[in-house]
Structure 1
Amino acid sequence: MVLGGESADGTGHPLSGTDAAMDGALTALYGSAPGAGAASRGSGGRSAGLGGSAPSVARWLGDIRTYFPSSVVQIMQRDAIDRLGLSGLLLEPEMLEAVEADVHLVGTLLSLGKVLPETTKETARAVVRKVVQELEKKLASRTRATLTGALDRSARISRPRHRDIDWDRTIRANLKNYLPEHHTVVPERLIGYGRASRSVRKEVILCVDQSGSMAASVVHASVFGAVLASMRSLATRLVVFDTAVVDLTDQLDDPVDVLFGTQLGGGTDINRALAYCQSRITRPADTVVVLISDLYEGGIRDGMLKRVAAMKAAGVEFVALLALSDEGTPAYDRDHAAALAALGAPAFACTPDLFPEVMAAAIEKRPLPVPDTDTALRR
């Protein structure tokens, strides 16, 4: 790839064996122009493209899985879908069984949603479920542990009645006040269980933009929504939107159902989505609203900002995530992000690993761990 192919490589030493096969697999993808169709193998053994047939692509998929590690395979598959327009081949069950499943592939399958033939749907669900289960395994335990700690801390009270004192935590917090001569600890600071507070569940509303560019964020939000919904101390609602608004809360027990309930693509009406979320808030001071969107508003801009301002004034913790993925710096509307930041609603891109910390901070009403990047707009 660096030296060029055939007479252009400048070495005078042709590749052979595994090196030639790897070179052919790379040339099949990167040696033809984006969108190229026909493919053939030249006499030199270098592939001239993937072509449009399922058998040739299936062979290529097998080759790259043989010669490259999984992380590289996923990148090459992604490039093949985007660069050569191979989405149509994913409608065939044999193709889906051959690909390396990842978040990007799930996004592609969701975008194909309504055109998936019946013969492919079950295979597509199996692919999506595999990715979702891997994400849940990676993210669930840490998310539950982080948020359980945050909920526990937010439930404690600093001036408890005698019967509500948590003596274990109170003693630990006052060990510095130990008086050796009296063999006692002076409880300068009392920590209580906050029984009344514990009976009130925090409410979380995930409001997710399902426009085509947000595919990876939709996948991660669905997994996190299911994890949050499994916690009894939280009341979780999941709302997805384009120009219409769909409440998928009743499907949160299965994130795969949630994902197939979305429809990637279409326009964006953030104002309408926030209006719906606002109408479902019953206890503002105990509610966290997380808007996951690139903020390219197609609805009423001033209405969107007024709703955010009203929710914050009522005591709602409002967070705007420009992306919830590992895909790097997202494209987003900088003017809208700056306007939200001016209202005290930070707008920033968030990785899945950081999301539990963001939610914990929002629940405890403390400053959010905003990444120090050019995609973060601080308060």
Structure 2
Amino acid sequence: MTAAAADAMQTGDERLRRWRLVLGGGVADGTGCALAGTDVGMDAALGALYGKGNSQERGTGKRSAGLEGSAPNVARWLGDIRTYFPSSVVQVMQRDAIDRLGLSTLLLEPEMLEAVEADVHLVGTLLSLNKAMPETTRETARAVVRKVVDDLEKRLATRTRATLTGALDRSARVNRPRHRDIDWGRTIRANLKNYLPEHRTVIPDRLIGYGRAAQSVKKDVVLCIDQSGSMAASVVYASVFGAVLASMRSIATRLVVFDTAVVDLTDQLDDPVDVLFGTQLGGGTDINRALAYCQSQITRPADTVVVLISDLYEGGIRDEMLKRVAAMKASGVQFVALLALSDEGAPAYDREHAAALAALGAPAFACTPDLFPEIMAAAIEKRPLPIPDMATHQ
């Protein structure tokens, strides 16, 4: 057999092995591939979550099914999947286990929390269980949430501060700048009429520069966050961004969460974990009431950015909600409507309300955490928002 033929056979065998793990074995899979070694354990771990048949004995090569809802079995399974699969796959399987097998209540046990792979979605699940969480679990849950929040801050904070500091400086341009504050691009464009061909240079008669925004509060930002159940990931990311914005002296940040009630968590912004445990995921939605509160806190409309993060399923007074948005925009407020602040894109949302906001000049769209600094920078500079081409919006 030639080397090329051997390679082709090996490639074909690997393809069959992968299909066998996907399909779960038995007569119907059609692969004729038998598993061995760690593949048997991988198959059993997959079968415990995704299997459809009766539970089978581990090691037979046939997919088993069911975690039987007990903490020891689930803890063992969590250890297995962390052994067999990379972290990104583990997180997906954990989310599927919570959704498919109803394992949320087991997360109220400290030993279970210590076994899971922490991510944004797990934090959302823990927050939804917050009120039912016994004291014995609360500190462990806070430690899990703290780890995720710290990781997110490391990922997002530096770029957010740099992007917004630049936007604040550009929004505070002055016409008699010091040399180090000159915006050379805008200065050259403003003085092209003074171009001297013989000297191949521009003689500026007007300098345009950046202001020194970091010395005082230049912008007010209000984050208004829908804490209904479908917005869990958005609540996590918004809380982290709120803490980052609050750390910037040139931005006065207010964070408001709402369902049918409105809670101002601004005094907890120095610790996003406190913010998150101050939320109550689930319940109804009254966007109008939340916007009424935010509107009452605005003292400098021309220097204020209001960010509404919601799926727009309004349980309050729709017409009043739209009137408030229109009034804020007419007063000079920069209004941003995000259907989601997460990596997954837009959830189900009220398209009629999204269209109504778009008609007011406030298009609603999903935003990833990596894009959020650019969205905020554009709002601060009062330029068109960089809405992603593939975003779901009206």
TM over 0.5: yes
Distance 1:209 1:57 in 2: 32
Deviation at 1:192, TM superposition (A): 3.9
Which one-letter code corresponds to 1:296 in the other structure?
Answer: Y
Of 227, 243, 257, the match for 1:226: 243
Paired residue for 1:372? 389
Aligned residue for 2:284, secondary structure, equals coil
Contact 1:166 1:191 in 2 (8 A): no
Q: In angstroms, what is the RMSD of aligned CA positions? A: 2.3
Q: Does 1:30 align with 2:50?
A: yes
Paired residue for 1:281? 298
Distance 2:183 2:388 in 1: 34
Distance 2:214 2:108 in 1: 51
Report % sequence identity.
81
Deviation at 1:183, TM superposition (A): 10
- Higher alpha-carbon deviation: 190-199 or 258-267: 190-199
Paired residue for 1:112? 129
Which one-letter code corresponds to 2:228 in the other structure?
Answer: S
Paired residue for 1:18? 38
Contact 1:171 1:187 in 2 (8 A): no
Which one-letter code corresponds to 1:369 in the other structure?
Answer: P
Of 75, 80, 86, the match for 1:58: 75
Paired residue for 1:41? 57
Contact 2:169 2:213 in 1 (8 A): no
TM-score (norm 2): 0.88
| CA-to-aligned-CA distance 1:285-309 (integer Å, 9 cap, x gap) | 0000000000000000001000000
Of 356, 369, 381, the match for 1:339: 356
Deviation at 1:68, TM superposition (A): 0.4
Deviation at 1:182, TM superposition (A): 7.1
Paired residue for 2:10? none
Deviation at 1:178, TM superposition (A): 6.9
Distance 2:310 2:50 in 1: 32
Distance 1:110 1:341 in 2: 32
Contact 2:157 2:244 in 1 (8 A): yes
Q: Does 1:267 align with 2:279?
A: no
Distance 1:91 1:197 in 2: 44
Distance 2:313 2:145 in 1: 27
Paired residue for 2:95? 78
Contact 1:6 1:14 in 2 (8 A): no
Paired residue for 2:173? 156
Distance 1:114 1:356 in 2: 32
Q: Does 1:167 align with 2:179?
A: yes
Q: Does 1:6 align with 2:26?
A: yes
Which one-letter code corresponds to 1:41 in the other structure?
Answer: E
Q: From the superposition, tell whether residues 196 and 224 of structure 1 become closer, same or farther in structure 2 (CA, over 3 Å).
A: closer
Aligned residue for 1:165, secondary structure, equals coil
After superposition, residues 272-351 of structure 1 pair within 5 angstroms as: 272-351=289-368
Q: From the superposition, tell whether residues 201 and 13 of structure 1 become closer, same or farther in structure 2 (CA, over 3 Å).
A: closer
Deviation at 1:15, TM superposition (A): 1.4
Deviation at 1:170, TM superposition (A): 5.5
Distance 1:170 1:75 in 2: 47
TM-score (norm 1): 0.91
| CA-to-aligned-CA distance 1:169-188 (integer Å, 9 cap, x gap) | 26664397675977985114
Contact 1:41 1:48 in 2 (8 A): no
Q: From the superposition, tell whether residues 149 and 374 of structure 1 become closer, same or farther in structure 2 (CA, over 3 Å).
A: closer
Contact 1:104 1:215 in 2 (8 A): yes
- Higher alpha-carbon deviation: 324-333 or 336-345: 324-333
The count of corresponding residues between Structure 1 and Structure 2 is: 368
Deviation at 1:75, TM superposition (A): 0.2
Which one-letter code corresponds to 2:249 in the other structure?
Answer: R
Distance 2:301 2:104 in 1: 44
- Higher alpha-carbon deviation: 323-332 or 291-300: 323-332
Contact 1:205 1:236 in 2 (8 A): yes
Deviation at 1:190, TM superposition (A): 1.4
Distance 1:77 1:170 in 2: 51
After superposition, residues 83-232 of structure 1 pair within 5 angstroms as: 83-157=100-174, 160=175, 164-168=176-180, 169=182, 173-174=187-188, 186-194=203-211, 199-232=216-249
